[in-house]
Amino acid sequence: MKFTKIGLVSLFSLFWVNLALGQGTPAPAPQGNGQPVEVSANTLQSGRYNGEEVRRLLGNVVMRQGQTTLTSDSAYQYASDRNKLEVFGNVHITQPGMDATSATASYDGTRRIANMRGGVTLRDEQMTLTTPSLDYDLNAKRAYYTMAGNIVGPDYTIQSQLGTYTSDDKVLTFKKNIKYLGQNAEVVSDTMSYNTVTKVVEFFGPTTIKSPDGTLYANRGTYNTVTRESNFRGNASIKTPDYLIKGEVLTYDKTKEYYTASRNVSMTSIKDTTIITGQTALYWRARGRAKVYGSPVMRTIEKRDTMYLSADTLVSVENVKDKTKKGKLFAYNDVRIFKSDLQGLCDSLTFDQQDSTIYMSRNPRLWANKNQMTADSVILMLRNNTIDQMRMFGNSFAISIDTLENYNQVKGRSMIARFANGKIRRIDVNGNAESLYFALQGDSTTMGMNRAVSSDMRMMFDEGKVQYITFLEQPDAKLIPPHELKDPDKRLKGFVWRSDEKPTRAHVLAKRGPKKKTTPAKPAASPAKSKKDQKADKKAKPAPKQNKVLKKPLAKVETGN
């Protein structure tokens, strides 16, 4: 590069630059809509740079264009387009509300774009940005960088590989390796924006947010760093001290300590291996209360087995007074239970997870292996996730089926059934006890049927078979031989075998639809009866109800003591 020294002069405008160069031809009009660039410096030299004719400005270079001022140690101004400059050393660009510094820069006054390189710092009243290089559009007041930037605000810092900042709307947009650190949160993301006024983070790619409220993850959403309100979408999750909540859409209201989740929801308890799934979940963290509906299912997972429990609605209540203890689960409307050794149905249920006790009410029905148990209400006690004891109250009825498909039956006011390894071991009947069981010879011959009535009794079982019965008071008992057995004799009053109701795993997990409302049809009006016909109706006895029985050859009976 060859330059001709003109001398030490003070250049206050582009007009004076032309005079110092001794050129009588006027400067070409600026291209586009850019205003003319006014330049001043201590010294001017002429020469060529990158094959083009330029003017070299040395010492206290000042460039002005409208409300924009650029200062540097030196600059090249292109003769072909005097709105274009290359500036070097202590570059400083200012305009209302913003200033930027760098080692070097290229400035296009027509397009109003500055390409700043080397230790760039951009400041406004909201934040300070540092980066190796920065492109700044002065018209749009938009800065963008591609070589790792660091932004420091009054109460936050943001790092990213790529970024854009729009000064007018105070929005920062970032891509790749983003890390936000604030007073209330740490955000790691792939693509996000941050409004320096509203303090809202909006993200458009996989994002993790750690805050005092828990760890949040989602593919899309917003997070207010001040109020800590959240709205997440796409494979979203929130991990609190008590739950890991997942769903396609998650929201959080810090003021109310209230979480919502919808679409493919799961809530995993941190304290144990309980998982609740459904389509909608509501969680009041301060109250320790969660509600799940939309085909909800609770899974209690153990090494050997998993218990599935479903209902129209599940409500989990934590022990807020003692966080070390487990809480309770409430299930209502069409409750279904499935385990490999236990199945059950009822309309309302409470599961105390601290002592593994299940309270069932409103038509409870239970099946344990080949045993069926019903009552007005039932308390079911588990040990190591296996049935240990069952307490039945009001109209208690237990039925077991033997190898010849005979129905052994016991009923009473209340019962306590005890189990070992998931199999019934003993039944204690208290009040109005009645029993009916078949004595077998081996597993192939029926020797008779024992029927007994007593105030209280105890039945002992082995491998599901009745071994003997103990009566606490003198019983009314008899053994009926096989050839005298009639169908009505084989059933205690209230007998109903409900094997077709026993829920399967698929039935418990099945999607639930809206309940169908049916309007019963009105009975057709009957013609008036004469007094003679009415008297005949009163005398007529109803036909006995026929129970379906499995026909098997009867044989001799074997009784145990």
pLDDT tens, residue by residue, 357-389: 999 999 999 998 788 999 999 999 988 778 889
Q: How many CB atoms lie within 10 A of CB 338?
A: 22
Q: Does some domain include residue 438? A: yes
Please give the backbone phi and psi of residue 502, each rounded to the nearest 5 degrees, phi first. -60, 120
Q: For residues 133-162, give the mean pLDDT.
A: 90
Q: Does some domain include residue 479? A: yes
> Which domain CATH number covers 365?
2.60.450.10
Give the end of a domain, one of 112, 128, 143.
112
Residue 263 predicted with pLDDT over 70: yes
Q: Does some domain include residue 340? A: no
544's tokens = 């006995």
Q: Which candidate, 191, 240, 237, places its Cα nearest to that of 218?
A: 237
Q: Does some domain include residue 180? A: no
- Mean pLDDT of all residues belonging to the chain: 82
pLDDT (0 to 100) of residue 31: 35
Give the end of a domain, one of 112, 141, 175.
112
Residue 32 predicted with pLDDT over 60: no
Residue 259 predicted with pLDDT over 50: yes
Asked whether the beta carbons of 489 and 495 are under 8 A apart, the reply is no
CA distance 317 to 559: 50
Residue 20 host element (H or E): helix 14-20
Helices (H) and strands (E) in the chain, counts: 3, 39
Write the pLDDT tens digit of every residue in 65-74. Answer: 888 999 999 9
- The tally of domains found in the chain comes to 2
Give the end of a domain, one of 96, 112, 128.
112
Q: Which candidate, 155, 159, 163, 202, places its Cα nearest to that of 182?
A: 155
Residue 28 predicted with pLDDT over 50: no
Q: DSSP assignment of 126-142, as one string? A: S-EEEEEEEEEETTTTE
Write the pLDDT tens digit of every residue in 399-450. Answer: 988 888 888 899 999 999 998 877 888 999 999 999 998 888 777 788 888 8
Calculate what percentage of the chain has a pLDDT beyond 70: 85
540 Cβ contact partners less than 8 Å away, ≥ 6 residues apart: none
Write the pLDDT tens digit of every residue in 465-484. Answer: 777 888 877 788 888 888 88
Asked whether the beta carbons of 11 and 46 are under 8 A apart, the reply is no
Q: How many CB atoms lie within 10 A of CB 133?
A: 20
Q: Which candidate, 365, 556, 372, 389, places its Cα nearest to that of 464?
A: 372
Q: Does some domain include residue 181? A: no
pLDDT (0 to 100) of residue 34: 59
207's tokens = 């994002």
pLDDT (0 to 100) of residue 389: 92
Count the helix, strand and coil residues of the chain and give each as a percent rounded to the nearest 5: 5, 60, 35
Q: Which candidate, 388, 451, 436, places its Cα nearest to that of 416?
A: 388
Write the pLDDT tens digit of every residue in 103-122. Answer: 999 999 888 999 999 999 99
Q: Which candidate, 139, 138, 105, places its Cα nearest to that of 120?
A: 105
pLDDT (0 to 100) of residue 545: 38
Q: How many CB atoms lie within 10 A of CB 320?
A: 13
Q: What is the pTM of this model?
A: 0.72
CA distance 210 to 389: 44
Residue 534 predicted with pLDDT over 60: no
Q: Does some domain include residue 161? A: no
Q: Does some domain include residue 501? A: yes
Q: Does some domain include residue 6? A: yes
pLDDT (0 to 100) of residue 12: 34
Half-sphere exposure of 12 (CA within 13 A, CB side): 0
Q: Which domain holds residue 41?
A: 1-19+37-112
CA distance 7 to 22: 12
Q: Which candidate, 66, 56, 53, 59, places its Cα nearest to that of 93?
A: 66
Residue 543 predicted with pLDDT over 70: no
Asked whether the beta carbons of 330 and 411 are under 8 A apart, the reply is no
Residue 560 predicted with pLDDT over 70: no
